[in-house]
Chains A and B, each alone.
Chain A
Amino acid sequence: MKWAAWLVAMILGGLLAWTSWGLFPRPALPPWQEATAYWGARNAVAAIVLGARLYDTLFEVLVFAMAMVGVRLALRPLPKRRARPPVIESPLLERAADVLVPAIGVFGVYLAASGHLAPGGGFPAGAIVGTGLLLVALARGIRALAQEFPQPILSQLEYGSLAALLILGGGSLALGWRGGWLLTLANMLILIKVSTGAWTVLEHFAAHRGEV
């Protein structure tokens, strides 16, 4: 069984390596500058993700949202761990969290706000803010943090931003809205969506499998 598995994987790899070698040298790009400027962006990737292929991005955001729904649904029937939270009691970590978390938050918002001009965007920004939340959770314990963000408000924020994104997407796709404001707004909404989603995963994993 095992040798067969590796053999098949190797054959696939060999086939891909052989054929993809033929892709080089790569042809020149079609003119992308005008299309980027048309969507009100400087970063062509942002122009594609939030402009030309916004329709795909809506699906992607929905996939992300549905995975979070799945996390809640599958973990809800499981018993919550009542063990004492093993918070890492380290003054160093606490001070570091105090200093770093505001900076992380500001950096995340900056990345989302400037995502259409420079490298960045809503998804990396959301991941960064989620990491900041993880740091706070490590320093202060996840329960203290969970009390700051009650679940109902979080889920309203999550679905609210999703609905707003769908409306924005509808405006862009059907009514032809475009421009820098749309990209910034969409990036901000994605930031909210991804960071609340990341927090949901973090909290549920921690609540059901012991503390972080």
Chain B
Amino acid sequence: MTINKKADGTELTVSLEGRLDTTTAPELEAEMNSCIDGLTKLTFDMAALDYISSAGLRVLLSSQKAMNKNGSMIIKNANDDLMEIFEVTGFIDIFTIE
């Protein structure tokens, strides 16, 4: 998986590419832990993300919880497969998906 970060002040866009699963989720988690403090807007661009597993959802949930305190989190460009996963797991109600 490839993680690209683009910061603009306190706003951050994270572009994900490939598969976010048990193997790659810890990588994203480490990345998010290091930069999430003080962000007011966090955007996940999932245009190039093929798959997300429960471990990946966990990282997104952690980020969502952290952002709930002092900002907002947006998920965009999720493909149909991802949307189905969000729907099945109920995450569709938790995340702001554009």
Q: Do A and B bind each other?
A: no
